[in-house]
Amino acid sequence: MKITSIRVVQPQSSTMPKGWRGTMGQIVVAIDTDAGLTGYGIGGGGAAAIHVVQQELAPLLLGEDAAPVEELWERMYRTTLAYGRKGLAIMAISGVDLALWDLRGKAAGLSVAQVLSPSSAVDVAAYFTVGLAADNSIEGTERALAEGYNAIKLGVGGLSLPQDTQRLLEGVGQVRRRIGGHVALMADAAMAWSDRDLVLELAQSLAEFDLDWLEEPLAADDLDGYAWLAERSPVPIAGGEHEFTARGFADLLARGCHHVYQPDICWCGGLTQLREIYGLGQTHGVRVVPHRGSEVFGLHAVLALEAGVPLAESGRPWMDWVGGRELVAGRARLAPDGPGFGVDLERSMYAQIGGGEK
């Protein structure tokens, strides 16, 4: 199954957010083969990543056998090593890697989840995110409960420390009282804070609310701060959505930076790397909960690779055009359950990637 062409575009959607998530957050990759199969993947990095795919990765892969996905990943990584290792180049590789995994599943007539594990789960619990800083936490909480979610995450990154500490504690406490003790509760700071001592004080106060984790309270590259905080915090510390490759996660694990690791399959290097990161998590006895894990590419991995208690983030509304999954009663499952990742991006945005509607 030889690779005959690689096409890549930046998707356009009326629901795409402003800022980097819209301009840099995703690219669509389509890999065609002489077997008549096309593999689809989504990476990140915007126009810069498209340049990397077209000028560096496509010449490397054209005419090659699509089957040895892991070997092709290493070749792409080494080709971009001088300017890659993390960031845009790895986000570009992610989209290509996922398209190759899509081809692997289609060639075998199996879903990617089945390729990863013949005993993959049928569905997985998902969590719903609401914005505490936007004062919609109670409204969002009511919606989450009505839709059957048993886990809720509060976005608290719009609040400052120490100015908004009391407001944050009151908001989290209000939500905890509403949902009771049987619904899991988390908080996400989105890298908003920089003072690890203030974060520790906050975590000590949050402990009474039984949080499953406090996510990204510090900048992603403050590894010393995370290691210091994780050693002392009574609330588990989560992070990793802005880390890249299993090599990068191995560094975080060696330092003990987090209790919960959150790689994003469309950014961290694709499924080839996410599978290795899951292996690292099992070796170190820590939890892996992929960022945007209920979106179709991550969902296959969560269903197949999680050996403990799987949990999937409910995803982003501007990615709904991708399809391939559904959320029912607070649980995520594949829909439809077809070969590969079970999505046809050619059909949903054929003009964007240069094909014709089927």
**Distance (Å, rounded) from C-alpha 300 to C-alpha 321?**
17
Q: Pairing relation of β-strands 123-131 and 151-155?
A: parallel
Other CB atoms within a 10 A radius of the CB of residue 12 amount to 11
**What gap in Å lies between CA 286 and CA 261, rounded to an integer?**
8
For the chain, the domain total comes to 2
Query: Which own/partner contact pairs does 85-88 have at CB distance under 8 Å and 24+ positions apart?
Result: 85/244, 85/245, 86/243, 86/244, 86/245, 86/248, 87/45, 87/244, 88/24, 88/44, 88/45, 88/48, 88/49, 88/52
User: Is 206 inside a domain boundary?
Assistant: yes
Domain membership of residue 348 (yes or no) is: no
Domain presence at residue 23: yes
Last residue of a domain, one of 62, 93, 109: 109
Same domain, 92 and 131: no
Q: What is the 3-state secondary structure (H, E, C) of the chain?
A: CEEEEEEEECCCCCCCCCCHHHHCCCEEEEEEECCCCEEEEEECCHHHHHHHHHHHHHHHHCCCECCCHHHHHHHHHHHCCCCCCCCHHHHHHHHHHHHHHHHHHHHHCCEHHHHHCCCCCCEEEEEEEEECCCCCHHHHHHHHHHCCCCEEEEECCCCCCCCCHHHHHHHHHHHHHHHCCCCEEEEECCCCCCCHHHHHHHHHHHHHHCCCEEECCCCCCCHHHHHHHHHHCCCCEEECCCCCHHHHHHHHHHHCCCCEECCCCCCCCCHHHHHHHHHHHHHHCCEECCCCCCCHHHHHHHHHHCCCCCCEECCCHHHHHHCEEEEECCEEEEECCCCECCCCHHHHHCCCCCCCCC
The span from the CA of 58 to the CA of 29, in Å, is 11
The number of beta carbons lying within 10 Å of the beta carbon of residue 23 is: 15
Residues 102 and 242 in one domain: no
Q: Residue 254 falls within a domain, yes or no?
A: yes
Q: Which CATH number fits the domain that encloses residue 79?
A: 3.30.390.10
pLDDT of the chain, 358 residues: tens digit per residue: 999 999 999 887 777 778 887 777 789 999 999 999 999 999 999 999 999 999 999 999 999 999 999 999 999 999 999 999 999 999 999 999 999 999 999 999 999 999 999 999 999 999 999 999 777 788 899 999 999 999 999 999 999 999 999 999 999 999 999 999 999 999 999 999 999 999 999 999 999 999 999 999 999 999 999 999 999 999 999 999 999 999 999 999 999 999 999 999 999 999 999 999 999 999 999 999 999 999 999 999 999 999 888 999 988 888 888 899 999 999 999 998 789 999 988 776 654 555 444 3
On whether both 173 and 257 belong to a single domain, the answer is yes
List of residues 6+ apart from 179 with CB closer than 8 A: 141, 145, 152, 185
Distance CA(319)–CA(329), nearest Å, equals: 20
Instruction: Confirm whether 326 is domain-assigned.
Output: yes
- pLDDT value at position 309? 84
pLDDT value of residue 62: 98
Residue 291 catalytic? yes
Active-site residue, selected from the candidate residues 51, 182, 242, 291: 291
Token reading at 77: 């990584």
Judgement on whether residues 321 and 288 belong to the same structural domain of the protein:
yes
Residue 341 domain flag: no
Q: 122 and 237 in one domain?
A: yes
Tell me, yes or no, whether 69 and 158 share the same domain. Answer: no
Cα separation, 340 vs 358, whole angstroms: 18
- In the block, which residue shows the tokens 């899951």? 278
Instruction: Tell me: do 54 and 197 sit in the same domain.
Output: no
Other Cβ atoms less than 10 A from the Cβ of 117: the count is 15
Of the candidates 146, 148, 145, 142, which has an alpha carbon nearest to the alpha carbon of residue 125? 148
| pLDDT, tens digit (0-9, with 9 covering 90-100), for 149-159 | 999 999 999 99
SS3 readout for 101-125: HHHHHHHHCCEHHHHHCCCCCCEEE
Same domain, 179 and 97: no
Asked if 63 and 125 sit in the same domain, the reply is no
State which residues form the domain around 130: 115-335
Residue 95 near residue 264 (C-beta atoms within 8 A): no
- Cβ-based neighbours of 113, under 8 Å, separated by 6 or more: 120, 299, 300, 301, 303, 304, 334
Task: Tell me: do 158 and 280 sit in the same domain.
Answer: yes
Q: Are residues 21 and 141 in the same domain?
A: no
Are 46 and 27 spatial neighbours (Cβ–Cβ below 8 Å)?
yes
Same domain, 225 and 99: no
Q: Which of 75, 109, 143 lies at the terminal end of a domain, its last residue?
A: 109
